[in-house]
């Protein structure tokens, strides 16, 4: 029985990246065991956890150890595989089934603490592709698993200076034409999409998916944004698809959490359905964006936090951009539509998404976005209202039901108006 460290930990060590910059942690280390049976692993104290193929937890570290295995395509899609693992499967056999050459390298477990300087097992020239900055498939078996298209796109977002080998792009296009991506389960699509959104340059993920045709099959609402014009005085980049990629990359630059990045991806979906005779204007695109968003979220089973934030941003980003011109009563209505008083953290995330939208435009990436700080300050003013006291006074005045709510609403308007006046006085004092 012999153990090897394989995959991402070896790759990132060779790239001279530490765990913090490469998103690899101790739990992400991939171990392969050669020359062992499931019974032998259990006898050594390992705990079996794999359902589809033999995977075990180390008795002390709880790292995952997989028996070396081969796989055979049995049906379309991600689940259509039969796996074979026995003591006769070699490390080379196991590496040959992996997706990319840069992920098909290994070192002996004895050198796992310093894989960058260990004797390298590299039958598919992954080190060469690392040096050349190329994402290349290992064998033609790449075509058997459509998840690999998503994984490659995600790696393109993680390593934006890597290019996709032409022969690998050709394989992905063929997989799309053959309908393989149509068999992907929603949970796996979302898992890879979410990971890609959190990488260094998420626009690269969309770029690769679009280049091979997978974006049109998986996210048609997003794909149709390319080639749609918008008004150059607001969007010097003009193309709505180009704008989307700039917004996504701004969200990465501002280190936004996943719900914000997802909201950025979906904020302008409605522009893809604007009638041609109306272009380059996009009247009412906010409501259309929200409707398209709901269908997308249902299809991919998007988590509630991402779905709800994206809905707020899709509906209200234009009003947030224009909020500097709004008076106190309109500002409170905006806060109430966003449910900001009850969910302030979500509203602050919405403001971050709006900043990404405003700065994700050609030549505007360094422009300030005062709306974010201003609305955060006004929300604090609205939340400072003691609603229990206001309600008690309203009831003492004989008001009931919705009239009590109206009294609270007016109190918030007064608090926001006072904050606006205070802000103006502060600005004047610093001029």
pLDDT at 315: 98
pTM: 0.89
The packing angle between helices 402-430 and 370-383, to 10°, is 130
Give, for all 431 residues of the chain, the pLDDT tens digit.
899 999 999 999 998 754 344 444 444 688 999 999 888 999 999 999 876 678 999 999 888 899 988 765 545 555 544 566 678 889 999 999 899 999 999 999 999 988 988 999 999 999 999 999 999 999 998 998 999 999 999 999 999 999 999 999 999 999 999 999 999 999 999 999 999 999 999 999 999 999 999 999 999 999 999 999 999 999 999 999 999 999 999 999 999 999 999 999 999 999 999 999 999 999 999 999 999 999 999 999 999 999 999 999 999 999 999 999 999 999 999 999 999 999 999 999 999 999 999 999 999 999 999 999 999 999 999 999 999 998 898 888 888 888 898 999 999 999 999 999 875 544 443 33
pLDDT at 87: 81
At which residue do the structure tokens 């939208």 appear?
357
Separation of alpha carbons 211 and 206, rounded Å:
8
pLDDT at 210: 98
- Give 38: exposed, middle or buried? Use CB within 10 Å, 0-12, 13-18, 19+: middle
Separation of alpha carbons 225 and 44, rounded Å:
55
Q: Where does 159-303 have alpha helices with state H?
A: 166-177, 186-197, 203-212, 214-218, 220-223, 240-253, 258-266, 285-300
Separation of alpha carbons 408 and 384, rounded Å:
12
Pick the CATH number of 1-132 from 3.40.50.300, 3.30.460.10, 3.30.420.10, 3.40.50.720: 3.30.460.10
Q: What is the DSSP string of 36-86?
A: --HHHHHHTTPEE--SSS-EEE-TTT--EEEE--EEEE-SSSTT-EEEE--
DSSP 8-state assignment for residue 110: G
pLDDT at 30: 87
pLDDT at 327: 95
pLDDT at 19: 39
pLDDT at 354: 98
């Amino acid at each position: 029985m012999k153990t090897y460290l394989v995959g991402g930990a070896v790759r990132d060590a060779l790239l001279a990246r530490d765990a913090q910059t490469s998103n690899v942690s101790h739990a992400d280390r991939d171990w392969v065991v050669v020359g062992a049976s499931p019974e032998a692993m259990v006898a050594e104290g390992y705990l079996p956890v794999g359902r589809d193929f033999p995977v075990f937890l180390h008795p002390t570290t709880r790292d995952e150890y997989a028996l070396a295995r081969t796989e055979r395509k049995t049906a379309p899609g991600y689940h259509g595989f039969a796996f074979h693992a026995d003591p006769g499967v070699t490390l080379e056999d196991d590496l040959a089934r992996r997706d990319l050459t840069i992920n098909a390298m290994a070192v002996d477990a004895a050198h796992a603490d310093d894989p960058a300087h260990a004797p390298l097992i590299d039958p598919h020239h992954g080190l060469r592709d690392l040096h050349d900055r190329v994402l290349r498939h290992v064998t033609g078996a790449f075509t058997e698993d459509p998840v690999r298209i998503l994984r490659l796109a995600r790696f393109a977002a993680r390593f934006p200076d890597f290019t996709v080998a032409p022969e690998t792009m050709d394989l992905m296009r063929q997989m799309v034409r053959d309908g393989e991506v149509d068999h992907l389960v929603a949970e796996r699509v979302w898992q890879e999409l979410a990971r890609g959104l959190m990488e260094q340059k998420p626009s690269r993920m969309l770029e690769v998916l679009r280049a091979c045709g997978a974006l049109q099959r998986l996210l048609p609402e997003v794909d149709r944004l390319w080639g749609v014009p918008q008004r150059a005085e607001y969007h010097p980049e003009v193309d709505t698809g180009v704008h989307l990629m700039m917004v996504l990359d701004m969200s990465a630059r501002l280190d936004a959490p996943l719900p914000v990045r997802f909201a950025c991806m979906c904020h302008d979906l409605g522009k893809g359905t604007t009638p041609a005779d109306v272009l380059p204007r996009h009247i009412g695109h906010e409501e259309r964006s929200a409707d398209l968003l709901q269908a997308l979220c249902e299809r991919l089973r998007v988590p509630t936090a991402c779905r709800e934030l994206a809905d707020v941003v899709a509906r209200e980003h234009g009003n947030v951009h224009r909020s500097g011109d709004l008076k106190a009563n309109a500002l409170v209505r905006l806060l109430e539509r966003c449910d900001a008083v009850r969910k302030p953290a979500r509203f602050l995330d919405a403001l971050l998404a709006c900043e990404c939208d405003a700065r994700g435009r050609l030549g505007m990436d360094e422009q300030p976005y005062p709306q974010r700080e201003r609305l955060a300050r006004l929300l604090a003013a609205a939340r400072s209202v003691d609603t229990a006291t206001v309600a008690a006074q309203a009831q003492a005045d004989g008001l009931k039901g919705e009239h009590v709510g109206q009294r609270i609403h007016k109190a918030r308007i007064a608090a926001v108006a006072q904050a606006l006046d205070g802000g103006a006085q502060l600005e004047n004092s610093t001029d």
